[in-house]
Amino acid sequence: MKGDLHIHSKYSPDSSMEPELIAKFSLSIGLGFIAITDHNAFRNHKFDGLITINGEEISSRDGHILGLFIQGEVKKGLSQEETVDAIRDLNGIAVVAHPYRKITGVGKRFRNIYDAVEAKNGRCSRKCNERALSLSREMLKPFTAGSDAHFYEEIGRVYLEVEGSDEETLRKEIISGNSKLSGNDLSLKGSISLYLKLGRDYVSRGFRRI
């Protein structure tokens, strides 16, 4: 089964996608599961015919962290350790998001406390993703993949392939490392276009980081 574990909806300040249309588009391209991981916001999404994993992208003091399979919202602004503990208190798994992305990745501040590493992100370059995959291997951690989509056409750009037909089985397979990374890294042209867009968004937010 194919799934995208990093998607943003209108409940993120930098996306306008409707959750119902995210689900419809995901089904149309053959995805079997998704996680809507809005910035510092939690919603319990459920859609017919599509396994929808509860998630959130949390802004810790050191960088962004994904909470997957969580049962509530994790507040932003905590340390890495506090954020990971809060995710686990909500029965979730803690994933370090795009660890080598400038500004929002934890980078050199990485702590070996996570359940998994996001080793393929649709808004990261090949080099950035290769470093993340190397990190997962070095730390003997399972990996995840997600498009980091903020627009419909980005959904499923990269995805994870996992055996399973229900949420609990998917969770076990992800944690055990029985998964496969698929999809395309961001091209140079795509990177330039994306960072111009991110720059405009940053200015429009009054130079406030998410």
Quote the pLDDT of residue 157: 95
The mean pLDDT value for 150-156 works out to 96
Number of neighbours of residue 93 by Cβ within 10 angstroms: 22
Q: Report the pLDDT value the prediction gives residue 184, as an integer from 0 to 100.
A: 76
* E strand or H helix at 126: helix 126-138
Tokens of 99: 């660890």
**pLDDT tens profile 57-80:** 999 999 999 999 999 999 999 999
> In the structure encoding, which two tokens stand for residue 8, read together?
């943003």
Domains of the chain: 2-204 (3.20.20.140)
What pLDDT score does 204 carry? 67
> Which of 12-21, 42-51, 151-160, 200-209 has the least mean pLDDT?
200-209
pLDDT classification of 181: cutoffs 50, 70, 90: very high
The model's pLDDT over 183-206, given as tens digits with 9 standing for 90+, comes to 877 665 566 566 666 666 666 657
Q: Across the chain, what does the average pLDDT equal? A: 93
User: What does pTM read for this prediction?
Assistant: 0.91
Among candidate residues 84, 124, 87, the one with its CA nearest the CA of residue 104: 124
Half-sphere exposure in the Cβ direction for 122 (13 Å, CA): 24
